[in-house]
Each structure stands twice: as structure tokens, then as C-alpha cells.
Amino acid sequence: MTANRGDNAVVSKKRKKELTDADLQKRSVKLVVMHLKKKVDPKVPGIQNVIEWIDKMDEVLAKDEFDRAEYLEMRRQLYNAIEWVIDVDVRASLRRSWYSFGKAMDKKVPKK
């Protein structure tokens, strides 16, 4: 048996949750953190602070609410953690992620 054409219309008419700026920013930050995790090599000297920061950030991302001040504070802490990394190339790569974190915090939902 095949589904009626009207069945698809019912599914598409379901109301989606409206995306807010906070939702978009949280998703964007989550994506940045995911990419940051891929860049982290535990063997690099000084990277332990960044690994600890990632653990704290995972806890912040697990919360339902979005506290912009908390996210900005975490960004500041990431910058401080990056400064402890000795390898210049790794540090530069992590700084690009820090910059992307800031861009993610500036995202806005496009107006219709």
C-alpha cells in the first residue's frame, strides 16, 4: 500500500518551533566546540587547560537555558586556556576556533 498524498501535507503542516537568536547562537557554539574537540591532541604540551575548558563547556551546553553572559565568560576562559599551549601552530588553530566562537555569539535569525 502507498500513502495518500494528503498524509504528507499533514506532516508538513505541523508547526515547527520558531528559532530564536539564542537558539541559533547555542547551536552555532555547539558546532564550534565540536570542531574544537577534533583539533585537540592530548599529547601537545599545555593542552590540558583546553581539555578542561571543553569539559566545562559541555556542561554549559547541556543546560536548557541560554545565558549569554555565561557563554561570553566561557569564551574569555577559552582564550586564557589557549595561551598555555606551547605549540605555535596548534595555538593558532585554537585561536581560529576562539574567533569562530565569537562569530557564533553574534549570529541573528534572519528576518522574514
Q: For residue range 83-112, what is the model confidence (pLDDT) as tens digits?
A: 999 999 999 999 999 999 999 999 998 887
Query: Is residue 64 a part of any domain in this protein?
Result: yes
C-alpha grid cell, residue 42: 592530548
* pLDDT higher than threshold 70 for residue 7: no
Query: Is residue 110 a part of any domain in this protein?
Result: no
Query: Is residue 94 a part of any domain in this protein?
Result: yes
Query: Is residue 9 a part of any domain in this protein?
Result: no
What distances in angstroms separate CA 21 from CA 68, 75, 107, one per listed residue?
A: 11, 18, 7
Query: Is residue 2 a part of any domain in this protein?
Result: no
* pLDDT higher than threshold 60 for residue 13: no
> Do 39 and 53 contact (CB within 8 A), yes or no?
no
How many domains would you assign to the chain? 1
CA-only gyration radius of the chain, Å: 19
pLDDT at 8: 52
Query: Is residue 112 a part of any domain in this protein?
Result: no
Angle at CA of residue 104, ends 99 and 106, nearest 5°: 100
pLDDT at 12: 47
Measure the CA dihedral 72/81/88/97, to 10°.
-30
* pLDDT higher than threshold 80 for residue 9: no
Query: Is residue 14 a part of any domain in this protein?
Result: no
Domain that holds residue 79: 20-104
Query: Is residue 7 a part of any domain in this protein?
Result: no
* pLDDT higher than threshold 60 for residue 46: yes
Total-model pTM:
0.79
